[in-house]
Amino acid sequence: MSTLSANTKRHRVTVVGSGNWGSTIAKVVAENVLEFPNLFESEVQMWVHEEQVTIPKSSPSYDPASELCTKEQPLSALINTVHENVKYLPGIKLPDNLVANPNIADSVKGSTILIFNLPHQFIKKACDGLEGHIVPFARGISCIKGVEVSQKGVRLLSDMIGERLGIYCGALSGANIASEIAQGKWSETTVAYDPPAVDSRHPTPRHSPTTSSTNLGMTPANGEKIKLQALPSDYPPLSHENMKHLFHRPYFHVRIVSDVAGVSLGGALKNIVAIAAGYVDGLGWGDNAKAAVMRVGILEEVKFGQMFFSTVKASTFTSESCGVADVITSCMGGRNFRCAKMATERGVSIAEVEKNELNGQVLQGTTTAKEVNDFLSSQGKEKEFPLFTAVYNILQGKNKPEDIPSLIEVKD
Ligand X SMILES: O=C(CO)COP(=O)(O)O
Ligand Y SMILES: NC(=O)C1=CN([C@@H]2O[C@H](COP(=O)(O)OP(=O)(O)OC[C@H]3O[C@@H](n4cnc5c(N)ncnc54)[C@H](O)[C@@H]3O)[C@@H](O)[C@H]2O)C=CC1
Q: Which residues are annotated as a binding site for NAD(+)?
A: 17-22, 122, 178, 335, 364
Helix segments in 89-218, DSSP class H:
104-107, 123-130, 157-165, 178-182
Please indicate whether residue 383 is annotated as part of the active site: no
340 makes contact with ligand Y (CB under 6 A) = no
Mark 25-44 with x for binding to ligand X (rule: CB under 6 A) and - for no binding: --------------------
Phi-psi label, residue 252: left if phi above 0, alpha if psi -120 to 50, beta otherwise: beta
Residues in 169-198 at the binding interface with ligand X, rule: CB under 6 A: 175-177
Tell which positions 13-52 bind ligand Y, by CB under 6 A: 17-22, 49
Catalytic residue (one of 87, 270, 290, 341): 270
Q: Is 274 in the site for ligand X (CB under 6 A)?
A: yes
Asked if 145 and 271 count as a contact pair (C-beta separation under 8 A), the reply is yes
328 near ligand X (CB under 6 A):
no
Q: Are 321 and 143 in contact (CB under 8 A)?
A: no
Nearer to ligand Y, 118 or 191 (CB): 118
Cβ(70)–Cβ(83) below 8 Å = no
**Binding partner of 19, given ligand X, ligand Y, none, CB within 5-8 angstroms per partner class:** ligand Y
Q: How many CB atoms lie within 10 A of CB 201?
A: 11
Residue 72 φ/ψ, nearest 5 degrees? -65, 145
The identity of residue 120, as a single letter, is H
Which of 108, 325 has the CB closer to ligand X? 325
To ligand X, the closest distance from the beta carbon of 252 in angstroms equals 12
d(CA 166, CA 171): 16
Q: Least separation, in Å, of the C-beta of 67 and ligand X?
A: 34
Burial class (CB in 10 A: 0-12, 13-18, 19+), 303: middle
Interacting partner of 330 out of ligand Y, ligand X, none (Cβ under 5 to 8 A depending on kind) = ligand X
Residue 296 as a binder of ligand Y (CB under 6 A): the answer is: no
Q: In the 8-state DSSP scheme, what is residue 323?
A: I
Q: Which residues bind ligand Y (CB under 6 A)?
A: 17-22, 49, 88, 117-120, 122, 125, 143-146, 176-178, 360-362, 364
Instruction: State the catalytic residues.
Output: 270
Q: Which residues bind ligand X (CB under 6 A)?
A: 145, 175-177, 271, 274, 326, 329-330, 334-336, 364
